[in-house]
């Protein structure tokens, strides 16, 4: 039998009473687990015949470790300078992701990069309504990282009051350009790369894109995002790319001038995004609608 991951004890230090075996497995009193200190996994070449638990258990542990390992994986977040995007970036870095932060506000992006650490995050100033700008964004990302594993198309803007009878039409144009075309341009710019990595695409929809809201162009734009999510999922069927719609209720973000009662925080939504990203490749979460718990009467 040839040499492989199981041929010798490794020099890494495991926590507590655990002992490293090979490159990816730790052992304690006959129990095995995937080693948190392991480097990026390589294909298993052999296992010792004397291993009491046998190949099936060991290989399952390795597979679980590989599917959930985020070391060096790259997550692109649009609309990353504040709110849901910034909160997701913070949690993603804590989970081991490399994050690429894209938004219009260079100052906010750079401040966030400084907080997260330049070894974990990079900023790219981009106007999501400009397709060529988004193509340049991807080029810059690949020049640094050489890979892209997940995209969170999160850029969006709110509307103005007045309904279809009185709201300024300029606000409609902005919402269509950012919420709909901006998301579509992100997909167009990144999908070929995501197909290569069999990665994960997430889009920020809204409960407003699942319910009818009187006189709301914002709701109409989020219905369009839902339709984009459904359509691209079918387009990508069989490619290995997963598509998840994140559909929050009211979120206390810079969208609103005053703090909101009984609303979600950006961190609430970010945890939902990280939950979807943490699933193994065998799990395809289509939609996650997240609402605040109703106030106690």
> Could you list the active site residues?
218
Dihedral angle sign, alpha carbons of residues 255, 260, 262, 266: positive
Task: Please report which residue ranges of the chain form alpha helices under DSSP H.
Answer: 54-68, 83-94, 106-116, 131-145, 163-166, 169-175, 183-197, 217-235, 266-277
Instruction: Give one DSSP letter per residue of 15-36, joined into a string.
Output: STT-EEETTTEEEETTEEEE-T
Angle, helices 183-197 vs 131-145, to 10°: value is 30
Strands 25-28 and 19-21 come out as antiparallel
If you search the block for the tokens 């409960």, which residue do you land on?
207
Q: Which two tokens stand for residue 248?
A: 């929050």
Dihedral angle sign, alpha carbons of residues 65, 67, 72, 75: negative
Radius of gyration of the chain from its Cα atoms, rounded to whole angstroms: 22
Helix (H, G, I), strand (E, B) or coil at 90: helix
Cβ atoms of 69 and 41 closer than 8 Å: yes
């Amino acid at each position: 039998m040839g040499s492989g991951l199981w041929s010798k004890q490794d020099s890494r230090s495991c926590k507590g009473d655990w002992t490293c075996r090979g490159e990816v497995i730790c052992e304690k009193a006959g129990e095995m687990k995937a080693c948190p200190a392991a480097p990026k996994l390589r294909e298993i070449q052999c296992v010792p015949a004397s291993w009491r638990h046998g190949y099936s258990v060991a290989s399952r542990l390795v597979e679980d470790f590989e599917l959930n390992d985020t070391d060096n994986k790259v997550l692109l977040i649009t609309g990353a300078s504040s709110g849901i995007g910034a909160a997701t970036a913070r949690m993603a870095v804590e989970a081991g992701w490399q994050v690429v932060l894209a938004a219009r506000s260079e100052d906010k992006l750079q401040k966030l990069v400084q907080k997260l650490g330049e070894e974990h995050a990079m900023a790219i100033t981009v106007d999501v309504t400009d397709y060529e700008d988004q193509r340049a964004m991807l080029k810059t990302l690949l020049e640094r990282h050489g890979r892209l594993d997940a995209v969170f198309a999160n850029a969006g803007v709110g509307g103005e009051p007045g309904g279809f009878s009185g709201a300024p039409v300029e606000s409609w144009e902005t919402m269509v350009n950012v919420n709909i075309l901006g998301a579509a341009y992100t997909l167009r710019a990144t999908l070929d790369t995501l197909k290569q990595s069999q990665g994960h695409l997430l889009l920020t929809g809204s409960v407003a894109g699942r319910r009818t809201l009187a006189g709301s162009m914002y709701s109409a734009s989020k219905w369009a995002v839902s339709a984009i999510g459904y359509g691209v999922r079918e387009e990508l069927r069989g490619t290995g790319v997963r598509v998840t719609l994140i559909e929050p209720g009211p979120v206390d973000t810079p969208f609103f001038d005053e703090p909101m009662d009984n609303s979600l925080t950006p961190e609430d939504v970010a945890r939902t995004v990280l939950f979807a990203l943490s699933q193994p490749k065998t799990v395809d979460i289509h939609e996650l609608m997240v609402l605040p718990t109703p106030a106690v009467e």
